[in-house]
Amino acid sequence: MKNAIPSAFIRAIPKSDLHLHLDGSLRLKTLIELARKAKVKLPSQTEEGMRKLVFKDSYKDLLEYLHGFMYTCAVLQDLDNLSRVSQELVEDNAAEGVRYIEVRFAPQLHVSPKGGVRDVVAAVVRGMQAGAKAHNSSKAVRSGADVPFHFGIILCAMRRFKKGMSPYFADILRIMENAPKDEVYAAASLELARAAVELKDAGMPVVAFDLAGEEAGYPPGDHRDAYQYAHDHFIQKTVHAGEAYGPESIWQAITQCHANRIGHGTFLFAHEMIKDPRITDRKKYVEDLVNYLAAQRIGIEVCVTSNLQTIPSLKSIAAHPVRKMIDYGLSVSVCTDNRLISNTNVSRELELVCEHARVTLLELKRLVIAGFKGSFFPGPFSEKRRFVQSVAARYETLERQLLGAGIQEIPD
């Protein structure tokens, strides 16, 4: 059976994006304009040329996928630019029906002589507030016909870094030049966790702490001090895990980093990737891990297009474990990862999952609501609950208006 959920319905319903990298989600037109002003040399000065040479629909490997960040990060060393792209990101999401996003970025990457970590975060928040204000002051929102737009900020620590990545990383590598590299990386993440707490306490919508970058060889446990600090100060935690490594990475993220959500989790079911010789029954280990995730409602931030573009062994969306995750009752949210790099948006990701993972109308509703329920909403729980209820009510209204008696299952 093939599910005929209309694209118009998917675009209209309120949606969320819990795994959204700021520096991978610029408007291409804006990138070209900012690069010209900052004298950053691009391979092409046209959107068509950049799509052909850099931001493609498919990539041969992770290295080619990451190449585009060289250009996006180069134009985001300016606080005004950070504010602008943040505002545009909210506008683009709001235009396609997204009503909640959690934007993640590594502020230490954007440190410059003009501003430190706190200035970088403040610039992003200013831009996002401006974008949200434009939507929330609309007649539809004020009348209650639409739900307001909310957002949260997730600060990303880097598993590893080099001097050339930013002045901040160059400084800490110089100061700790005689220390083992893993200690340097851990020191930077702990400093960022402290900044996250300070910013949250100062009223910034910093909702979580994350760990991104090369997974294999750089385990999340190396950053346990940073995560413990965030945990001790009521900061939520998410970890990129199971994207390029096996189930052990996910379990370490949960047990050593107190992860409330897992970014990607693509190899959650890959028992053959388990390396610990003490784990003799690998299939049981995976089964126990999956059931633990489901029971504890530890969310999985799924990004299908990005996974297909960066994991050569993953040949199709039908082969993606998202269907299996749904069948196991996991708290799955469908996300974009990088709107520009992956040339996608939330509506497209949901359409792909619905079509290729054979998602029913009821399952779609559960996926959408799971995104809002699993969010690290920047406010009291009572406010979050009211927001989720308003989202559910809006969803059901659109369901009646656009689908009538409901979706019909039709033969292949």
Which residues are designated catalytic? 243
The secondary structure of 231-267 as a DSSP string is: HHTT-EEEEEESSSS-HHHHHHHHHHH--SEEEE-TT
The secondary structure of 290-335 as a DSSP string is: HHHHHHHT-EEEE-HHHHHHH-TT---GGGSTHHHHHHTT--EEE-
The secondary structure of 61-113 as a DSSP string is: SHHHHHTTHHHHHHH-SSHHHHHHHHHHHHHHHHHTTEEEEEEEE-GGGS-BT
Q: CB neighbours (10 Å) of residue 344?
A: 22
Burial-class residue 256 by CB neighbours within 10 Å (0-12, 13-18, 19+): middle
What residue type is 349 in one-letter code? Answer: E
**Any idea what the Cα angle at residue 17 is, between residues 38 and 85, rounded to 5°?**
15
395 by DSSP, 3-state: which?
helix
Buried b or exposed e, range 128-149, using 16+ CB within 10 angstroms:
bbbbbeebbeeeeeeeeebbbb
Which tokens sit at 156?
Answer: 């990303």
**Any idea what the Cα angle at residue 73 is, between residues 160 and 314, rounded to 5°?**
65
Buried b or exposed e, range 309-324, using 16+ CB within 10 angstroms:
bbbeebeebeebbbbe
Strands in 350-397 per DSSP E: none
